[in-house]
């Protein structure tokens, strides 16, 4: 049985707490945010102990730490946990820049450090990835409309999800061609060999929709969380290929627990580093 510490009791920290508490013991929580967050968390975990980071780091019974802290604090906390011989479940983007992520990689040694790029674990996304892997893709686009996440940098908080998918699909051939970044929206043009790629995000939209479109000479495929579909030219509508509504947090939780129990030193920090390189390229110009 894994015994964990939780750092961060905000909205997302409580989502993670609810999921992880079904499969492991969350012994101690610390939060520097709204004092009311701890009281909300205790409705989920009545027996959890409130402490500080030092309590978690120095507790030999805690072998894993779930980090849902603000982006500016992620890397520093992760490094301290890894240095204290704890496995780490780390919210994306892991760090604010390449230097921070390289420091996490250095501290990781043989411990598990899983960065939470949630959408990559969607079974429908994996079916989509498999279906397009052999296609000669000419155009690829992602569009994400939502309302919220206003207190975070749009690149570090939202674009990182899209870049994680693009690196997963296209590898290191990904390059930025043009971009327009605003406080609550962005348009980014990229390329991967012969594929033209666009990323559009609007976090002040009255509608909520995440849609990925992949176009080749032969076909057009779409993916939204939970649904992979094929555009049928004859009927002029989407035909579902794979549809499954799952809890992605639970899937990612089980993935982390598996690696911890195997003690295999798993890390996906390389993709986090690739993502930050792209973001640095856009922000440093």
pLDDT of 165-212, one tens digit each? 999 999 989 999 999 999 999 999 999 999 999 999 999 999 999 999
Cα dihedral 120, 121, 127, 130, rounded to 10, equals: 50
Question: Taking each helix axis from N to C terminus, what angle separates 160-170 and 123-132, rounded to the nearest 10 degrees?
Answer: 40
Residue 51: pLDDT over 70 = yes
Mean pLDDT calculated for residue range 150-156: 93
pLDDT for 285 equals 57
The mean pLDDT value of the chain amounts to: 95
Measured at the alpha carbon of residue 102, what is the angle toward residues 96 and 108, in degrees to the nearest 5?
Answer: 115
For the chain, give the percent of residues with pLDDT over 70.
100
Q: How far is CA 89 from the centre of its chain?
A: 11
Tens of pLDDT, residues 105-137: 999 999 999 999 999 999 999 999 999 999 999
Which pLDDT belongs to residue 20?
98
pTM: 0.95
The β-bridge partners of 187 are: 180, 200
> What pLDDT score was predicted for residue 2?
97
Between CA 248 and CA 226 the distance in angstroms is 10
Query: For residue 167, what are the contacts with CB-CB under 8 A and spacing of at least 6?
Result: 174, 271, 274, 275
pLDDT at 149: 86
φ/ψ (deg, to 5) at 125: -65, -40
């Amino acid at each position: 049985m894994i015994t964990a510490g939780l750092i961060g009791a905000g909205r997302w920290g409580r989502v993670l707490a609810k999921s992880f508490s079904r499969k492991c013991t969350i012994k101690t929580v610390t939060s520097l945010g709204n004092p009311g967050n701890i009281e909300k968390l205790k409705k989920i975990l009545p027996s959890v102990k409130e402490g500080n980071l030092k309590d978690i780091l120095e507790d030999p019974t805690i072998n894993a730490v779930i980090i849902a802290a603000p982006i500016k604090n992620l890397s520093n906390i992760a490094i301290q946990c890894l240095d204290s011989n704890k496995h780490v479940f780390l919210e994306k983007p892991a760090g604010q820049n390449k230097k921070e992520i390289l420091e996490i990689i250095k501290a990781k040694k043989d411990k598990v450090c899983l960065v939470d790029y949630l959408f990559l674990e969607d079974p429908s996304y994996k079916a989509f990835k498999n279906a397009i892997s052999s296609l000669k893709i000419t155009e690829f686009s992602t569009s994400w409309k939502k309302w919220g996440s206003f207190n975070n940098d749009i690149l570090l908080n939202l674009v990182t999800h899209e870049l994680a998918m693009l690196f997963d699909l296209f590898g290191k051939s990904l390059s930025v061609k043009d971009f327009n970044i605003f406080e609550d929206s962005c348009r980014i043009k990229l390329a991967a060999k012969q594929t033209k790629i666009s990323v559009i995000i609007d976090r002040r939209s009255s509608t909520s929709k995440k849609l990925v479109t992949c176009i080749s000479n032969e076909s057009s495929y779409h993916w939204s969380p939970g649904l992979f579909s094929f555009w049928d030219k004859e009927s002029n509508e989407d035909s579902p290929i794979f549809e499954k509504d799952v809890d992605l947090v639970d899937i990612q939780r089980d993935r982390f627990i598996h690696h911890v129990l195997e003690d295999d030193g798993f890390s996906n920090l390389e993709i986090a580093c690739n993502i930050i390189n792209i973001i640095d390229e856009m922000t440093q110009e």
